[in-house]
A and B are shown apart, each in its own frame.
Chain A
Amino acid sequence: MKLINNRQIVEDSWQTIADESNIEQLPGGKLIVSFAFWNDHKQALIARDDALGIKFNPEDDVADIAADLASFALVVLQFPAFRDGRAYSQARNLRQHHGYQGEIRATGNVLRDQLAFMERVGINSFEIDSHQDINDAINGFDEISIKYQSSSDEPLPLYKRATA
Chain B
Amino acid sequence: MNTNPLSIPPINKDETAQRPGMFIYGQVDQQLIDERVAQFRDQTQRYLAGKLSEDEFLALRLMNGVYVQTHAPMMRIAIPYGLFSSEQMRMLAHIARTYDKGYGHFTTRQNIQFNWLKIAEIPDLLADLASVQMHAVQTSGNCIRNTTTDPLAGVAGDELEDPRPYCEIIRQWSTLHPEFAHLPRKFKIAVTGAKKDRAVTLIHDIALSLVKNDAGEIGFKVSVGGGLGRTPMIAQTVRPFLEKQHLLSYLEAVLRIYNLKGRRDNKYKARIKILVGSMGVEAFSKLVEAEWLKIKDSMILDQAEIDRVKAHFAPFAYDTATEQTVTDNPAFNRWLEHNTSEHKVPGYRVVHVSLKAPQAAPGDISAAQMDIAASLAEQYSFGLLRSTYDQNLVFADVKQADLFDLWQALEDADLATPTIGTLNDMICCPGLDFCALANASSIDVAADIQKRFQQLDYLYDLGEIDLKMSGCMNGCAHHSIGHIGILGVDKKGVEWYQFTLGGFSENEAQLGQRLGRAIAKADVADTVEKIAKVYIEQRLTNERFVDTFYRIGIEPFKGRVYETN
Q: Which residues of A contact B (CB under 8 A)?
A: 61, 82-86, 88-90, 92, 96-97, 111, 113-114, 116-118, 120-121, 136, 143-151, 155, 157-160, 162-163
- Quick check: which of B110-118, B172-180, B396-404, B468-476 contacts chain A, the rest being far away? B172-180
Chain B 26-73 residues near chain A, CB threshold 8 A: 28-29, 31-32, 35-36, 38-39, 42-43, 51-52, 56, 59-60
Given contacts A146-B35, A158-B6, A158-B28, contact A111 B56 (CB under 8 A): yes
Using known A-B contacts A97-B294, A144-B36, A146-B32, determine if residue A86 contacts B260 with beta carbons closer than 8 Å.
yes
Cβ–Cβ contact B176 & A121, under 8 A? no
* B308 surroundings in chain A (CB, below 8 A): 159
Contacting pair A88 B6 (CB below 8 A)? no
The verdict on A82 contacting B56 (CB below 8 Å), with A92-B256, A148-B173, A162-B6 known, is yes
Contact of B305 (CB < 8 Å), options: A61, A149, A159: A159
A158 neighbours in B (Cβ, 8 Å):
5-6, 28, 172
11 contacts between A and B (CB under 8 A): A85-B182, A114-B182, A117-B178, A117-B182, A120-B178, A144-B35, A144-B39, A145-B35, A148-B175, A149-B175, A155-B298
The reply to whether A148 and B56 contact each other, CB–CB distance below 8 Å, is: no
Q: Given the complex, which residues of B lie within 8 Å of A92, measured CB to CB?
A: 179, 256
Do A143 and B39 have beta carbons less than 8 Å apart? yes
- Measured CB to CB, the closest approach of chain A to B415, in angstroms, equals 36
- Say whether A86 contacts B259, CB under 8 Å: yes
Given known A97-B294, A117-B181, contact A145–B31 (CB-CB < 8 A):
yes
Q: Are A146 and B28 in contact (CB under 8 A)?
A: yes
Contacts of A86 in B (CB 8 A): 259-260, 264
Which residues of chain B are within 8 angstroms of A157 by Cβ–Cβ distance?
173, 248, 299
**How far does the alpha carbon of A22 sit from the alpha carbon of B383 in the complex, in Å?**
74
- Which residues does chain A contribute within 8 Å of B177, judged by CB atoms? 149, 151
The smallest C-beta distance from B51 to any residue of chain A, in angstroms, reads 8
B367 to chain A, nearest CB (A): 32
4 pairs of A and B residues whose beta carbons are closest in the complex: A85-B182, A120-B178, A146-B32, A117-B178
B259 touches A83 (CB 8 A): no
CA distance A92 to B253 in the complex (A): 12
List 15 extra interface pairs beyond A117-B182, A144-B39, A162-B4, CB under 8 A: A82-B59, A82-B182, A85-B142, A85-B181, A86-B260, A88-B178, A88-B259, A89-B179, A92-B179, A113-B56, A118-B178, A121-B178, A146-B35, A148-B172, A150-B298
Cβ-based interface call for B183 (8 A): yes
Complex alpha-carbon distance, A97 and B260, angstroms: 15
Beta-carbon contact of B182 and A84 below 8 Å? yes
Shortest Cβ distance from B26 into A: residue:
A162
